[in-house]
Each structure stands twice: as structure tokens, then as C-alpha cells.
Amino acid sequence: MGTPQYSLYRFAGAIHAHDAVAAERFVDVDRVAQAASDVIVAEYLRRDSKAAQAVEALGQGAATAVAGQAMKPLVAARVRGEIRKMAESGGQGPGVLVLPAGIVAAFLRPAVVREAADAWVTYTDPRRGQTRFRMSQQPDRSWRITDFDRDWVRRHMKDGSSG
């Protein structure tokens, strides 16, 4: 379990075995949810000038952090739900919003760029386009998905699509 690729292989195996619990071991749901929540809040404030003005009046840093923390449980529930849907369908169902459903099919072709204890994984699903996410090595030497590229999160917010 010492490489991101091997952890992705195990993640895909858990999905194919319809084992959501095992698949979730390869996703740091809290970190993914926090990072996605931060992107969602920032994007909302960028688009809504009245909300941005209200947040500035409250002290932008603190208000933004509170909003991100408030969203985190909702996003975490969505991440867990997507893992469950992927496992129920064995990775063959409709795409998912937060997790890379196509990683199962594209496993052999991801580009992995290591950065100290992290790695950025990029792969292209022929049906859903490019996905980029960060994996972090754990104390047991396994790797977990910890973050998705901000542009990927924004793209899926805008079009409301899955996958």
C-alpha cells in the first residue's frame, strides 16, 4: 500500500466488490468536505455581491470560516452518499459529484505527481473529462484522497453534473 496507484487499485476493488465501508477507507471524507466547502463558500461570495458585502461587514475571515464549517457536514454527507452509490452500482452507475467514478476504468492511466507526503493524481475519463485530486500518505503507508482540484469543484458546481 506504499503508492497512490496501489491505494487507487484497492479503492476500485472495494467499489467493484460493492463494499462502501472499504472504499471509504481510501477517502478522507472530512478533508475532502472541508476543502470543497471552502471552494463553495468562496465561489458563492464571488458571485453574490450582497452576501460578500455582508461578510466583509462581519469580518471576512471569521465569517467565511464559519460558513465553511456550517457547510462541511452537508458536503461530508454527500461524499459518503456518493461512495455508497458507487459501491452499490459497482462503479458502473451514473457519475458522482464528489468522487471520481471513472477512476475504476481509468486506473491504469492516471498521471501521478509526487510532492513530499502528497501526490496529485490526474486522469481523464472519456465520458466525464479530466479529474484532478490530491492524495496524502497515511502513517500506515496507504494513501487517501484528501482534496479535489478547486477548478474541478467549481466546474461541477456550475454545471450541476456528476462525475
Exposed, middle or buried: residue 124 (CB in 10 Å: 0-12, 13-18, 19+)? middle
Rounded to two decimals, the pTM is 0.76
Q: Please write the tens of the pLDDT for every residue from 67-90.
A: 778 888 988 998 898 889 888 887
Local confidence pLDDT in tens for the 163 residues of the chain:
588 988 988 888 898 899 999 999 999 999 999 998 888 888 877 777 777 677 666 666 666 777 778 888 988 998 898 889 888 887 765 544 334 545 544 455 688 999 888 999 988 777 767 888 999 999 988 899 999 888 878 777 765 544 4
Q: Where are the domains of the chain?
A: 4-155
* Torsion sign across C-alpha atoms 66, 157, 150, 28: positive
